[in-house]
Structure 1
Amino acid sequence: MVRLIILRLLESFFRRPLLSVAPFVIGVLLGAGYILLSPPEFLSSGKIYIEKDSLLASLTSSKSDASWWVTPAQATTNELYELLATNAFVRAAIQQTKLEPYMSGGPDVVWETFTFFRDTISINPLGDKLVEIRATTDDPELSYQMVVATMDTYLKWKLNTDFQESVAAQKFFEDLIAPYQADVDQARQALIDFLSANPEPVRGDRPPGEQFQLDQLRAALARAEERLSTAQENEESARLALVKNESLIRQTYQIVDQPEIPLRAEFSITTFVKNMIIFVVIGLFLSVSLIGGGALIDRSLRFPIDVRNSLNLPLLAVVPLSWEPLTPTPIATITETDQPTLQAQVQVK
């Protein structure tokens, strides 16, 4: 059966060789044309260095937010990809690029712009502390702007996250200081009024009732002053955290390679080979399908093995092929008297 299939495929190919090879040749030509006619692509990239163990972090006892099994570069890469999945982050980045006019279009245009931005930006960790952000488009200036916008938006997001927390904490304690100060003033005035109304006796001690009331007033003043002092210390800590967090972010995330506007288009051998392989495989598949389809549709008997497998009849003889030039020979006629002799000769053979 395998021999029959191989013979059928070979016969289908050699019966129409040009037609069988045509899809493969067309696929190769289409692949070459697609690669040659594709618009040039311009690559822009920038690198961010992440240093979690900075001097300021060690002095302020700031701990790294990355787990011990995740490198700073990998943690930053994961965080960037998570932010790129949000519309707020992508919208803030697009605002700094030439894609901003598309934001005034319809919902479909906005969605396509978001998708284009997410698909164009690629983030790769390089080692343990280095992250590369890349963008490849047919516009060199747009590639540059997308990388710069992504890096700036990320650093601003890091600053704003800690900034908002510190501002909220500072505002909270500022709101507490005023009423706490009023409580202190009220407790102090109550103590002053009590001492004015009940001065220290010239001889002996105060009566127990006055001494108890005096102790209560002094304790209330101490509690009020302690609350006020705690709120003031926390407000000062929040104010210092504003400055510390900004300096800490700038020391932790340093742009070591600024993006540049690419001057030459990128040529990737890997992309070239991958595209050619795709078209070659498609052309080869079509050629094989054409050959196999021709062999499957053709039901004619072309080989002796076809008779055995298709008709299930015994094969008596095979007409030999002769490559010698044919010479005209008289056509013999078979009469009824010659039939027994001819049948005997065929049976002998």
Structure 2
Amino acid sequence: MVRLIILRLLESFFRRPLLSLAPFVVALALGAGYILLSPPEYLSSGKIYIEKDSLLASLTSSNSDASWWVTPAQATANELGELLATNAFVRSAIQQTKLEPLMAGGPEVVWETFTFFRETISINPLGDKLVEIRATTDDPELSYQMVVATMDTYLKWKLNNDFQESIAAQKFFESLIAPYQADVDKTRQALIDFLSANPEPVRGERPPGEQFQLDQLQAALARAEERLSAAQENEESARLALVKNESLIRQTYQIVDQPEIPQKAEFSLTGFIKNMIIFVAIGIFLSASLIGGGALLDRSLRFPVDVRHGLQVPLLALVPLSSEAMPPASVTAAVSEVERTALQPQEV
């Protein structure tokens, strides 16, 4: 049965070879036209170097990421990918590009703009400490703006994130200092009043009761002063964090390759091959479908094997083809071989 199917497919192809190959040729032509007529694409990129072991970080004990399980570049790329998934980050970046007027459109236009921005920006870690940010569009200026906006928005986000944390910490400890100071003043005044009312005896020691009360007041004052001192130190650390934050971020994240406006379009060999493979596959599928459909719909008896399998009767005679209708010798030999094999008696 398999041999009969192969024979029918060969006959369907060679009966109308030009028509069978037409879908494949058309698909190739469409693929070439699509590639040639596609708008040129312009690539802009920038690179950020991440140095977690900066001098300022070591002096201020801010190197808290020394035990990462991933490299600084991979961690930064992951963080950027997560931020790009948020509308707030993308919206802030779009404000710095030519896409900003689209934000005045309806919800559908805004959503399409967000999607376009996310799909256009690509983040690639290069080694352990280098991250590349790329954008490819049909507008060279837009590609440049998208890369610059992404890098600037990320650095600003890092600055603002640490800044807000420092501000919150400073306000928290500032709110503690006033009541702690009042507690110290109250405890100190209580000790002064006790000493005024119970001065040190001229001779001998204080009575045990007075000494116990004095020790209690002195211990309470020491605790209050220690608590106030800790709050003041923490408030000073938060204020120091505000000062050092920007310098630390600038030292940690350095833009080593500034993006530039691309001057010529990019040619991607990988993209070209991928597009051609897609159109070639479509052409092969259409041609195979046409050949298979012609063989399936053709119910005529064209070969001796058709008589045997279709009518279940023995073949007595075969009308020979004229010289004008004879197919090429190679095709005749192939068909004859298939027929001969198909007509052989099958062993049980």
TM-score range, shorter chain: 0.7 to 0.9
After the TM superposition, which residues 166-205 of structure 1 pair with which residues of structure 2 at under 5 Å, given as runs?
A: 166-205=166-205
The corresponding residue for 2:343 is: none
The Cα of 1:181 is off from its aligned counterpart by: 1.2
Query: TM (normalized to structure 1)?
Result: 0.87
User: Within 5 A, what are the aligned runs for 1:258-273?
Assistant: 258-273=258-273
Measure the CA separation in 1 of the matches of 2:242 and 2:32.
58
Contact 1:66-1:75 within 8 A present in 2 as well: no
* Equivalent position of 1:314 in the other structure: 314
Q: Percent identity?
A: 88
Alignment of 1:1-349 (within 5 A): 1-65=1-65, 68-323=68-323
More divergent stretch after superposition (216-225 vs 62-71): 62-71
Instruction: Output one character per residue of 1:167-208: Cα deviation in whole Å (capped at 9) or x when no partner.
Output: 211111111111111122222222333333443344444444
Counterpart Cα distance in 1 of 2:67 and 2:36: 47
CA distance in 2, matches of 1:159, 1:68: 21
Q: Secondary structure of the equivalent of 1:97?
A: coil
Please give the secondary structure, in 2, of the residue aligned with 1:27: helix
> 1:267 is matched by which residue type in structure 2?
F
Separation in structure 2 between the aligned mates of residue 204 and residue 29 of structure 1, nearest angstrom: 115
Mapped contact 1:66–1:72 kept (Cα < 8 A): no
**Structure 1's 202 and 67: CA in aligned 2 closer, same or farther, altered over 3 A?**
closer
Partner of 1:333: none
Residue 69 of structure 1 deviates from its aligned partner by 4.1
Compute the displacement of 1:320 (Å): 2.8
Once the two structures are superposed, residues 197-221 of structure 1 have per-residue CA deviations (whole angstroms, 9 ceiling, x without a partner) of: 4433444444444433333332222
* TM superposition outliers: structure 1 runs of 4+ over 6 Å: none
1:66 Cα deviation (Å)? 7.0
Higher Rg: 1
- The CA deviation at 1:62 is 3.4
The letter for the 1-side match of 2:70 is: V
Amino acid of the residue matched to residue 221 of structure 1? L
RMSD: 2.1
Aligned residues: 325
- Is the partner of 2:254 in helix, strand or coil? strand
Report how far residue 309 of structure 1 moved: 1.2
Whole-Å separation in 1 of the counterparts to 2:212 and 2:321: 135
Moved more, 285-294 or 71-80: 71-80
The separation in 2 between residues aligned to 1:62 and 1:309, in whole angstroms, is 85
Offset at residue 85 of structure 1 (A): 1.2
Deviations 1:93-115 (A, max 9, x none): 11221212222222211111111
Q: 1:208 and 1:69 mapped to 2: Cα distance?
A: 61
> Aligned equivalents of 1:25 and 1:301: distance in 2?
30
Cα-to-partner distance string for 1:239-286 (whole Å, 9 max, x where unaligned): 222233333222221111011111111111221121122112111211
Classify the secondary structure of the residue corresponding to 1:154. helix
Structure 2 alignment gaps of length 5 or more? 326-348
Letter in 2 for 1:54: S
Structure 1 residues 322 and 264: alpha-carbon distance in aligned structure 2, compared to 1, 3 A threshold: closer
Q: 2 CA distance for matches of 1:181 and 1:68?
A: 41
